[in-house]
Structure 1
């Protein structure tokens, strides 16, 4: 499975299922219909796509949205959430973290005010996406996916390793300069 096949599955899940839990179920079921090698390819493509938004600038944007509550694990799950928004949203945000300001669910979060008022399902994270290929793999083959990947000379990343230009994570001037549209939505939360 190449990147195009990966996004075809994710985009179909986005169109077919209104919430992340239904998307997870759909993706798991669909992947379980594929050979073990293609399931492993999905896991590798997931890492490749996630790495496109594994930058300091994206982490800064996620930290702004989440009012500073975005540590390493939270950012990892935020990256999965971005994948779960589909290829069009993901590509625009990968190109510019400020594109998050146009994402309807992010605009909704800004309208909710303080994170204290957010429900669990409001948070922009999707940790269960990383378990999708494992569950599908277990349905079609004995053994575990990570061992299978190692046998192919591959491995998954289970943490963040941001690259790109350094940012001042909580400096209002730096944030406003880098993500002006997002800053306009969330600056009150920072004050």
Structure 2
């Protein structure tokens, strides 16, 4: 399986899933139709792309999309979601993270953006187990990605204040402010004090 084959499966899943929250379920269905080795190769491509997206600017832009600073886990699940959005969205986000302002974002019942999808990754593992009865971690080439993995960019979340975010990502910042009725609270959410981020970290 090459990278284009990978993106084809992602695209097919996005077309067949009625709603974004069903993408993981549909991905598991499509992958379970493949040979075990192809599922492993899909997994390798997935994690390679997730690793490539581990950059400071993707993190900063993702904070605006999620409307708050992201923890390590939240940033990981955000990158799962970004891959699930498809090839064009993913590649444009890496070239220009502010382009994510143009994405159609689904919101939950409380009005918060759904820009995290932990289940998308687990769908790969479930498909492999469904086909083989074994865990994908036990496959001989399951972690081949580690041999050629991209070294994550070294960045500091403290570099991303409301000032830097507004300068780096003007479209995302405008969208973020437009969704916040209280401008002062919005600025404070992305302010760093001696007590940590918004006094919470």
TM-score normalised per structure 1: 0.81
Residues 55-134 of structure 1: pairs in structure 2 closer than 5 A: 55-105=55-105, 117-118=110-111, 122-134=113-125
2:134 is aligned with 1:143? yes
Aligned to 2:196: none
| Partner SS state of residue 33, structure 2 | coil
Q: CA deviation at 1:37?
A: 0.5
Deviation at 1:35, TM superposition (A): 0.9
Cα separation, 2, equivalents of 1:156 and 1:166: 25
8 Å Cα contact 1:168-1:175 kept in structure 2: no
Q: Paired residue for 1:154?
A: 143
1:102: how far off?
A: 0.8
**What is the CA distance between 1:104 and its match in structure 2?**
1.9
Change in CA separation of 1:67 and 1:21 when aligned onto 2, cut-off 3 Å: closer
- Give, in whole Å, the separation in 2 of the partners of 1:9 and 1:48: 16
1:7 aligns with 2:7: yes
Q: SS of the residue aligned with 2:78?
A: helix
Q: Secondary structure at the match of 1:33?
A: coil
Give the structure with higher Rg (CA).
2
Question: Which ranges in structure 1 are unaligned for 5 or more consecutive residues?
Answer: 110-114
Instruction: Please tell me whether residue 190 in structure 1 is matched to residue 187 in structure 2.
Output: yes
Matched residue, 1:30 = 30
What is the CA RMSD across the aligned residues, in angstroms? 2.5
Q: Higher relative CO (CA 8 A, sep ≥ 6), structure 1 or 2?
A: 1
Contact between 2:40 and 2:136, CA under 8 Å: does it hold in 1? yes
1:144-179 deviation digits (Å, cap 9, x = unpaired)? 10110xx2272578xxx7416656444222112211
Any conservation in 1 of the 2:80–2:116 contact (CA below 8 Å)? yes
What is the CA distance between 1:18 and its match in structure 2?
Answer: 3.1
| Partner-residue secondary structure (3-state), 2:54 | coil
